[in-house]
Amino acid sequence: MEQQNLTRLGKFLCLILRHKPETVGITVDRRGWADVDELIRGVNKKYPFSRELLEEIVRTDAKQRYAFSEDGTKIRANQGHSLPVDLGLTPLDPPPVLWHGSARRFEASILEQGLLPQSRRQVHLSPDYETAVAVGRRHGEPIVFQVQCGEMRRDGFFFYRAENGVWLTDMVPPAYLIPVEPD
Ligand code: HQG
């Protein structure tokens, strides 16, 4: 299938698996897993869909947003949920710093309140500066914060790494944020 259509279907899959499984009449379990057959039947009511197409979307997704269960009968989004799921990830020691990209219009509020998960379950942090700039640009003029994760960890905060390399934490108080001006 053409990349453009794959991307469109991928966005729909994100909506279902992260936010609104009811859109296609399915549910996800507390770990975020949806039954693959139910998902295919559900999506099929709106668009022609198949296991092959689902596998192509999962395989070609630029951010590796989805994962199949080991036996291939279930699928979930690796991160980005607003649904109340617990991915069951093991806390990990983070690198000394990670990065968060946001938009200029949120800067004052972030410096006052810290990073909050807003509509998602957790705050998303990028492993490198360039990725953070790209994440920030989705929202407008990008700004980037360097997040002092080593220090946070020593102070008792927990960090998790989603299967696609995105780091997750519950919130980041302003004291651990260093604004970095993009070039
Ligand atoms: C901002 C994408 C005001 C935060 C990306 C962000 C990522 C605050 C926005 C993943 C704030 C929420 C997540 C505060 C945080 N005051 N604004 N106190 N605290 N914000 O989309 O991190 O393509 O929910 O900076 O690549 O942008 O979907 O989070 O700008 O990995 O797979 O509130 O989503 O991946 O926006 O993006 P989002 P995000 P996907």
Q: Whose CA is nearest to atom 12 of ligand 1?
A: 118
At CA 139, angle to CA 172 and CA 111, rounded to 5?
A: 30
- Distance in angstroms (rounded) separating the CA atoms of residues 9 and 121: 23
Is residue 109 domain-shared with residue 72, that is, in the same domain? no
What pLDDT score does 181 carry? 84
Mean pLDDT of 13-18: 98
- The answer to the question of residue 85 being in a domain is no
Residues 41 and 102 in one domain: no
Nearest CA owner, ligand 1 atom 13: 124
Domain presence at residue 83:
no
Residue 118 forms part of a structural domain = yes
* CATH code of residue 21: 1.10.10.970
Does residue 101 sit in the same domain as residue 172? yes
Dist. CA 102 → ligand 1 center (Å): 7
In a domain, 17, yes or no: yes
Residue 66 covered by a domain: yes
What's the whole-model pTM score? 0.94
Cα 139 to ligand 1 centroid, rounded to whole Å = 8
Choose among 62, 68, 58, 26: nearest CA to 43: 26
Domain range holding 112?
A: 97-180
Ligand 1: residue of 19, 82, 124 to mutate (most ligand atoms within 8 A of CB) is: 124
Domain count, the chain: 2
> In the listed set 28, 49, 77, which residue is the last one of a domain according to the structure?
77
Q: What is the pLDDT of residues 129-143, one digit of tens each?
A: 999 999 999 999 999
Same domain, 102 and 176: yes
Q: Looking at the domain assignment, is residue 25 inside a domain?
A: yes
What is the average pLDDT value for the chain, to the nearest integer?
A: 96
Are 11 and 71 members of one domain?
Answer: yes
My answer on whether 7 and 46 are in the same domain is yes
- Same structural domain, 60 and 102: no
Task: Return contacts of 19-26, CB within 8 angstroms, 24+ apart.
Answer: 19/81, 19/82, 19/83, 21/83
CA distance 151 to 66: 31
Section 115-137 average pLDDT: 97
Regarding whether 176 and 105 lie in a shared domain, the answer is: yes
* pLDDT band at residue 183 using 50, 70 and 90 as cut-offs: confident
In this structure, the answer to whether residues 103 and 59 fall within a common structural domain is no
pLDDT tens-place string over residues 158-176: 999 999 999 999 999 999 9
Residue to substitute in 118, 166, 172 for testing ligand 1 pocket (most ligand atoms within 8 angstroms of CB): 118
Determine the atom of ligand 1 nearest the C-alpha atom of 116.
Answer: 19
29 in the Ramachandran plot: left (φ > 0), alpha (ψ -120 to 50) or beta?
Answer: beta
Atom number in ligand 1 closest to CA 115: 19
Beta carbon of 21 within 6 Å of any ligand 1 atom = no
- The answer to whether residues 128 and 173 belong to one domain is yes
125 lies in the same domain as 159: yes
How many angstroms separate the alpha carbon of residue 160 from the centre of ligand 1? 16
Evaluate whether residue 157 is within a structural domain: yes
Evaluate whether residue 84 is within a structural domain: no
Interval 35-78: pLDDT, tens = 999 999 999 999 899 999 999 999 999 999 999 999 999 999 99
Residue listed under structure tokens 């020593």: 154
87 lines ligand 1 (CB under 6 A): no
